[in-house]
C-alpha cells in the first residue's frame, strides 16, 4: 500500500514538473531556409561564383595547353620514333615523360587548389548566412529554423530564404565577417570577442558548419 502511495506521489511530481516546463498553450513557430539557393542568389555568392569560374577557366586553359604538348610529343614518337637514332628517341622520350609527369602533377594540384578554394569561400558565406538566420529567428520568435535539405516537406509560406538573402545583401560586408546580432541586428566579426565572453554564448565559427559541408559555390 505504501509503495503504491509513493509511486502515485512521484507520478504527481513528474506531471507538475513537465506541465511547468511546457505551457499548456505553448505556440510553436517554424521556418526553413534553402541554404544552397541562398548561397547561389545572394550578392556575395554571385561574386564568389563568378570569381571561382574565372579561376576554373584559367586553370583549364593552362592544363589544356600542357595536355596538347604531351599529346604532340606522343604523336611525334609514334610517327618518327622508328626513323630516329637511339639518342634522339631517348631524348624525345625523356621530354615526353617529363611533360607528362608535370601535367599529371599540375592537374592534381589544380584540382586540390580549386576544391580548397571552393570550401573556403563556401564556408565563409554560409557562416554569414547562418548568423543572419539566427538573428532573424531570434527577432521573429521562431521556435526553430530548419535547413531545407534536412526536411521532407515544408509549406512554401514558411520558407524564409528570400528574407535571408535580402537581409544579407543589405549588410554590404566582406564575406566571413558577420557576427552574432543583438536586439534584432547583425553585427560584424569585430564585436565577436565580446560575444564569446558572455556565459552560454555559442562559438560563431561553429554555427552553420553542417550546412557549409553540404553546400558549394561550384553548383
Residues 182-204 have pLDDT tens digits of: 333 444 444 444 444 444 333 44
Q: Which residues contact 216 (CB under 8 A, 6 or more apart)?
A: 36, 39, 118, 119, 122
- How many residues appear in the chain? 219
Read off the pLDDT band of 50 (50, 70, 90).
very high
Measured CA to CA in angstroms, residue 65 lies from 94, 96, 113, 167 at distances of 19, 14, 19, 44
Does 19 score more than 60 pLDDT?
A: no
- Return the pLDDT at 211: 64
- Return the pLDDT at 157: 93
Between strands 30-33 and 144-147, the pairing is parallel
- For residues 176-181, average pLDDT: 73
User: How confident is the model over 163-175, as pLDDT tens digits?
Assistant: 999 999 999 999 9
Q: In this structure, how many other beta carbons lie within 10 angstroms of the beta carbon of residue 167? A: 18
User: How confident is the model over 106-161, as pLDDT tens digits?
Assistant: 999 999 999 999 999 999 999 999 999 999 999 999 999 999 988 899 999 999 99
- Return the pLDDT at 3: 46
The span from the CA of 153 to the CA of 4, in Å, is 46
- Contact call for residues 48 and 121 (beta carbons, < 8 A): yes
Tell me, rounded to whole angstroms, the distance of Cα 22 from its chain centroid. 35
- Return the pLDDT at 69: 93
User: How confident is the model over 66-107, as pLDDT tens digits?
Assistant: 999 999 989 988 888 778 888 888 888 899 999 999 999 999
- Return the pLDDT at 24: 52
- Return the pLDDT at 26: 62
C-alpha count within 13 angstroms, C-beta hemisphere, residue 102? 15
Amino acid at each position: 500500500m505504501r509503495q503504491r502511495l509513493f509511486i502515485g506521489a512521484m507520478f504527481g511530481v513528474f506531471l507538475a514538473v513537465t506541465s511547468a516546463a511546457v505551457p499548456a498553450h505553448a505556440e510553436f513557430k517554424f521556418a526553413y531556409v534553402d541554404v544552397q539557393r541562398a548561397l547561389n542568389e545572394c550578392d556575395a555568392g554571385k561574386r564568389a561564383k563568378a570569381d571561382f569560374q574565372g579561376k576554373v577557366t584559367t586553370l583549364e586553359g593552362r592544363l589544356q595547353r600542357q595536355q596538347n604538348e604531351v599529346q604532340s610529343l606522343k604523336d611525334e614518337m609514334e610517327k618518327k620514333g622508328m626513323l630516329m637514332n637511339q639518342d634522339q628517341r631517348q631524348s624525345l622520350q625523356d621530354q615526353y615523360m617529363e611533360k607528362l609527369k608535370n601535367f599529371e602533377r599540375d592537374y592534381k594540384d589544380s584540382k586540390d587548389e580549386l576544391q580548397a578554394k571552393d570550401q573556403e569561400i563556401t564556408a565563409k558565406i554560409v557562416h554569414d548566412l547562418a548568423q543572419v538566420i539566427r538573428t532573424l529567428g531570434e527577432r521573429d520568435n521562431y521556435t526553430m529554423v530548419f535547413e531545407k535539405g534536412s526536411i521532407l516537406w515544408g509549406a512554401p509560406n514558411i520558407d524564409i530564404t528570400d528574407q535571408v538573402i535580402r537581409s544579407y545583401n543589405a549588410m554590404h560586408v566582406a564575406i566571413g565577417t558577420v557576427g552574432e546580432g543583438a536586439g534584432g541586428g547583425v553585427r560584424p566579426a569585430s564585436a565577436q570577442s565580446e560575444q564569446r565572453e558572455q556565459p552560454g554564448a555559442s562559438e560563431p565559427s561553429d554555427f552553420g558548419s553542417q550546412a557549409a559541408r553540404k553546400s558549394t559555390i561550384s553548383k
